[in-house]
Amino acid sequence: MKVLVAMSGGVDSSVAAAELIDQGHEVVGVTMRLWGGESDTGCCSVSDVDDARRVAQQLGIDHLVFNFSDDFNEHVVAPYVQAHVDGITPNPCIECNRHLKFDRLSERARDLGFDAVATGHHAQVSRGDDGVYRLTRGHDQLKDQSYVVYMLDQTELAFTMFPVGHMTKAQVRDRAVALGLRTATKPDSQDVCFISRTGGRETFLGNRIEFRKAAVVTSDGVAAGAVEALELVTIGQRRGLGLPGGGPKQFVVDVDTPNARVVIGNEDQLLRDGLAVNNVMWANVSPVVGQKVLVQSSAHGAAVAATVEHVSDAVAADGVGSQRIGGANLVLRFDVAQRRIAPGQSIVCYDVTNSFVLGGGIAEAINPTKN
């Protein structure tokens, strides 16, 4: 097969390319130039592009650079900024996967006659006897990245390869050392690539939007403090709220953007017994109402048990169809109440064995309240 490998300049994508070469594939590396602004973190710095190019030279494969900066700004950076204005907590790395790696890059790969694209994600794609593709967790449970690629449908799963998904991180590094790759000991990227360490999120957003002051109030409406930038506040936050020291712990339980208010409460007031999700995509078919699933709401968070209470166009166990409820495509009811998930965060549903991805979407502002 002719495979285009997305090489970010990290060890995982470097070894992914090496694995494909060993398997006898015709491999070409590509680095996407996404962010043209200041960058000292993530996978968009000049040094990362150079690392990818040099690894490709070490492996003896061609290396391409695609400039997708306009797409990146349109689909990742601009929505990231607007989300903060709207009181939403975005996940830009997932949106980069959705719009760039597994949309724009796949489209370009097909146009150039490639049979597949590959990345260094710790996830796996399998195909059952029924011909259905499944996105399964990576072998290394601590490094599993199936959560961040949940948006892949049957078409994309058939076109995508994850060559290091069956390996542990230690095995990946050992393989890179054995090959003498310059990325063998390079630290993993942990940050949003367009947010610099020196300026941070506050500087990045402050250069693009005007921050609004907001009152901090209790759930009963009693004034408790103030914040200088409503746009920097998120659900579950404890610090930076202008609260006096001492007393019980207080958390942000709601961000009231229209009224410029931050509502605080104790930990119990953060709990919700359900969750509404929109923009849902399924790997194959949607679950049915009443079906048990496991739900993950962060890249490395634990999956918790829930029941599908509503899903658009789904059929319940009794055969009765379901309609759209409150603007949400999916409503989940947790077995045990969970901390409220910030609107804008990705919600991924796994099967009850916690092995493969069913699908996922984006947390809505509507959060069913704990009974």
User: Which residues belong to the active site?
Assistant: 96, 193
Compute the Cα dihedral for 352, 354, 360, 365 and give only its sign.
positive
- The CA-based dihedral angle spanning residues 328, 332, 337, 339, taken in that order and rounded to the nearest 10 degrees: -50
C-alpha–C-alpha distance, residues 338 and 243, integer Å? 25
What are residue 64's DSSP bridge partners? 30
**Which DSSP state fits 315?**
B
- Nearest partner of 61 among 95, 100, 31, judged by Cα: 31
Using only C-alpha atoms, the chain has a radius of gyration, in whole angstroms, of 22
Tokens representing residue 81 in the block: 């900024």
Residue 49, classed as helix, strand or coil, is helix
What are residue 331's DSSP bridge partners? 276, 310
C-alpha–C-alpha distance, residues 43 and 193, integer Å? 6
